[in-house]
Amino acid sequence: MTAPTLDVYLSDEDLTAALRSDATRGLTADPKWLPPKWFYDARGSELFERITELPEYYPTRTERALLERVVGDIARTAQAEVLVELGAGSAAKTRLLLSALTAEGPLKTYVPQDVSSAALRAAAEQVAAEFPALAVHGVVSDFTDTLHNLPGGGRRMIAFLGGTIGNLVPDERADFLAGIRDVLEPGERLLLGAGLVIEPEVLVPAYDDAAGVTAEFNRNVLHVLNQRLRADFEPEKFAHVALWDAEREWIEMRLAATEDMTVTVADLDLTVHFARGEQLRTEISAKFRVDGLDGELAAAGFRTERVWTDPDDRFALVLAARV
C-alpha cells in the first residue's frame, strides 16, 4: 500500500475568513441568511450522520440503493482511470464506485476532496488500506472555488453525490457546473446525484423529523458562530422551520426567533437585532426534474449519457460527458 498524499489549499484561517465574510453579509441582509456549509463542524457532521439514519430521511438510503443497483453500468460506461469525489466526507458510498471501477480494470487513482483536512486524511487512509493498488491523492479545498486545484492525468470522472447540488441556487449551480466543465477534458465525465421533486408529504418530514435531530442540526450553525466568531446566540431561542417552496421547487430550512432579541458577534464588532418571529434562512435543498437536470448540464457544456432513478423516482444519478 502506498501512503495517501494530501494537498492543502484551505487552511483553518481561510475557513475563518470565509465565515467572517458570509456572516457579515448574511446577518446584515434583509431577509437574513447563512450558507449551509457552516453547519458542519464536528458536532454538525455527527448530527447529519444521525439524520441519514432517521426513518423520515430517505435521500441517503435511496441514493445508496440506487448506486448499488447501477454501479456496474456506471463503471462500464465511464471506464475512469481517475475518480474525483467532491465533498467526499467519510467516502462511505464511494467504496461502491471504487469496487466497481477497479473490477472494470482501468481505475488507478482516487482523489477525494473535502474542506476538513482531518476527515479527509482519515478517509484517505481507510481507502488506501482497503484498495492498496490505488493511489489516493486527497485535496483539502472548497469545491465551489478551487476546482482548478484538482489533479489531472488519466481519464477522469468527477462524482458529486448526495444531492448537494441542490444546496446551490440556480446561478450558483450554473457557475459550478461550468467550473467543472472547465477543468475536465472532452469526453471526461461527471456523475451527479440529485434529489427529484416528489410529494411534499414525504419530502418535508425528511427535513423536519419527529425526533428533532434536524432541528438541532439547523441550530448548530449558531453554535458555530458562537465558537468561531465569539457570538452570543442562544440557539434554544430559535425554532426550526422547514418549508416547501412549490414555485422554486426547493425546501428551505430557517431558524425563527421566538422572542425579540439582540445578538452580538464580537469578532465582527457586529450587533444583530431579531424581531420575534423573524427568520434566518440557513439552507435551500432544491429538487429536480430529469429534463431540468439535462437542460442545466447541457447549458454548462455536458452531454447526458445515462440517467438512473430509483423505483419511486425520488432520486437520480446522472452520468454526463464533457462536450
Question: pLDDT for 252-287, tens place per residue?
Answer: 999 999 999 999 999 999 999 999 999 999 999 999
Instruction: Please report the domains of the chain, with CATH numbers, ordered by start residue.
Output: 57-199+287-322 (3.40.50.150)
pLDDT at 201: 97
pLDDT band at 151 (very low <50, low <70, confident <90, very high): confident
Question: pLDDT for 187-225, tens place per residue?
Answer: 999 999 999 999 999 999 999 999 999 999 999 999 999
pLDDT band at 150 (very low <50, low <70, confident <90, very high): confident
Which backbone phi and psi does 124 adopt, to 5 degrees?
A: -65, -40
* pLDDT mean across residues, the chain: 94
Alpha-carbon dihedral sign for residues 91, 97, 99, 101: negative
- pTM, full prediction: 0.95
pLDDT surpasses 90 at 245: yes
pLDDT at 218: 98
Cα separation, 41 vs 232, in Å, equals 18
CA–CA–CA angle 138, 143, 146 (5° rounding): 85
pLDDT band at 120 (very low <50, low <70, confident <90, very high): confident
pLDDT at 92: 73
Please give the average per-residue pLDDT across 148-159, as a whole number.
89
List, in order, residues 6 or more apart from 123 with CB less than 8 Å away: 88, 89, 90, 91, 112, 114, 138
Question: pLDDT for 79-113, tens place per residue?
Answer: 999 999 998 877 778 899 999 999 977 999 999 99
Question: pLDDT for 121-135, tens place per residue?
Answer: 888 999 999 999 999
Question: pLDDT for 18-59, tens place per residue?
Answer: 999 999 999 999 999 999 999 988 899 899 999 999 999 999
Instruction: Tell me which residue of 6, 223, 190, 209 sits closest to 113, measured CA to CA.
Output: 6
